Each structure stands twice: as C-alpha cells, then as structure tokens.
Amino acid sequence: MVHDPLAGFRVLGFDLETTGLSSDRHRIIQYALVGSSEDGDSIYVEEMVDPQRRVPSDSTRVHGFTDADVAGKPIFGEHIDQIDELIEGAVIVGHNVNRFDWPFMRDEYTRAGRMMPTPRAVIDTCVVARRLKLPRRHTLAAMCARYGVELERAHTAGADAAATLLLLWRIIEEHPRQFRRPLEDIEEWLASGRIGEDSDLGPGYDDLEPFDANGRLRWSDQELVLAFGRHRGVTLRTLELNDPSYLRWMLSGNGPLEQQDIQRLEHILESH
C-alpha cells in the first residue's frame, strides 16, 4: 500500500484563471479549491470573480470566459474570507503554482489590503516533475496524459485543480520512495533538492531547539529559522530582507505566534 504523506491534512488542489499572464497587470477571473478536509469530507469550491476590467480576447481563447461571464460577479475582495478559511493550514497542490497562481493571489491580497493566509505546505507538481527528472513536457496537459489523468474542461479552474491533485497522487504511486517521508521533508526536497542529512539544517527541525511555544521558529547555529509555511527553512534575517510583509503578519497578532513570543521576537529584531 502506498504511503500517503498527506493523510490527516486538509488537502486542496488549487488553480486560477486570469485575464492574462502578468500578476501586476492582470486579474483573477476564476479560482478553485478542490479536495478534502482533515476528516476526509469532500471540498469543492469554484467561483467566478469580476476582474474589474475587460477580458482580452487572447485570454478568452485559452479559457473560454468572456466579459459576460464575469459581469456582476463579486470582486476578489468579497471572496477573501472564504479563501482564507480554506487555505489557512491546508496543503495546497497546484501546477506551476509557485510562479503563476501564488503571485496572482499575493497581488490580489495586496490590493485588498489583506495578509495572505498561511498554508501548511505548498506542493507544486511542476517542481515535483523537475525534481524527479521526469521527461518533458511538464505542462499540466502533458503530465496528465502521461499518468492517465482525465483532464476534461481544461483551463477551467475546477477541472485543473482536481486533475492536479489526482496527478500528484499518481506520481506518488509511481515514485513512492521520494514520498515515504514526512511532509516537512518533502517540502524541503522540493525547495532545495536536499533531504535530511544533506539539508542545510542538518538533523532536521525536530532536533532544533524551539523558540516559541509551538515550535514555529527554531534555533539553528544562533539563527532563527522558520519551521512552517511557505518560507519553511528560511532564516529570520533572510525573511526580513526578502518578504517583510510576511514578517509583519507574524508579528501582527493575527499570525501563528503567541503574544509573549511576539514580544521576544520583536526584542531580537530590535537588537539586530
């Protein structure tokens, strides 16, 4: 029986359709989160979004959506509460999600003046294909064809999200050795190509001294390292330089840290 590293988590395939390819110039017109809850209950959310601009004909030729399809739909900000509830603490599975879908989400959240939710992990099946050195092409359609995953209504968010989730499971079935380990190690492998003793963190997060009550931050060679979320494995110093908005969220009281740990962390940052 194939080991399931995602068992016990809320696991959601995730996909977007947009007005174009640039997250700073184009907008989301459809999103989908498809999968199951921690208890195994099915989740299927697929929503249209008013992008507050015209849908270019080039984009319509890809996904089939026109101005008429989005007219009168809620704008992205009206969907945020639902998206937060689903993504926070979930394992998000997407194809090319790191380079495409996540930047779109980040920019939409910025426009709405909100902080991004923090998933338990983000697994990009396009990155999985590269780490496993699978033959090209690595498009979703090509990967689904290779693994016998039906992709009906391609380029609609719900169909692509569901297909991506099934694709990951088929890959795990074919390459069980790489996935016969904790989710944290899989994340580290996808991010760096290294696992366990080859990792920059040596023995693993559980062996590092926790900084806070829940072990979200850990000490490694007198450096604080994040042990959760999309910046897992990143030092606090690097986070402060590269993603200060994420650090502000951690310190805001809406993040994962207790108030006493926030105060300790603020003291450390002030002393840098």
pLDDT greater at residue 15 or residue 154: 15
> Which amino acid, residue 84?
D
Same domain, 167 and 221: no
The whole-angstrom separation of Cα 11 and Cα 87 is: 9
Specify the pLDDT at position 205: 62
DSSP string for 209-237: PBSSTTSSEEEETTEEEE-SSTTTT-BHH
Same domain, 130 and 51: yes
Cα dihedral 22, 24, 26, 29, rounded to 10, equals: 110
Same domain, 128 and 245: no
Q: Say yes or no to pLDDT of 146 above 70.
A: yes
Residues of the domain holding 150 = 11-186
Same domain, 168 and 244: no
Domain end point (choices 158, 186, 214): 186
Instruction: For residues 253-263, give the mean pLDDT.
Output: 86
pLDDT greater at residue 2 or residue 11: 11
pLDDT band at 207 (very low <50, low <70, confident <90, very high): low
Specify the pLDDT at position 7: 87
> Which amino acid, residue 28?
I
Same domain, 204 and 182: no
- State both tokens at 96: 């090319």
pLDDT band at 180 (very low <50, low <70, confident <90, very high): confident
Token pair 């979320």: residue: 229
The whole-angstrom separation of Cα 103 and Cα 81 is: 19
Instruction: For residues 231-248, give the mean pLDDT.
Output: 86
CB 15 within 8 A of CB 95: yes
Specify the pLDDT at position 122: 94
Specify the pLDDT at position 204: 57
pTM score, whole prediction: 0.72
Best CA proximity match to 172, nearest among 24, 38, 7: 7
Instruction: For residues 223-251, give the mean pLDDT.
Output: 86
Same domain, 178 and 123: yes
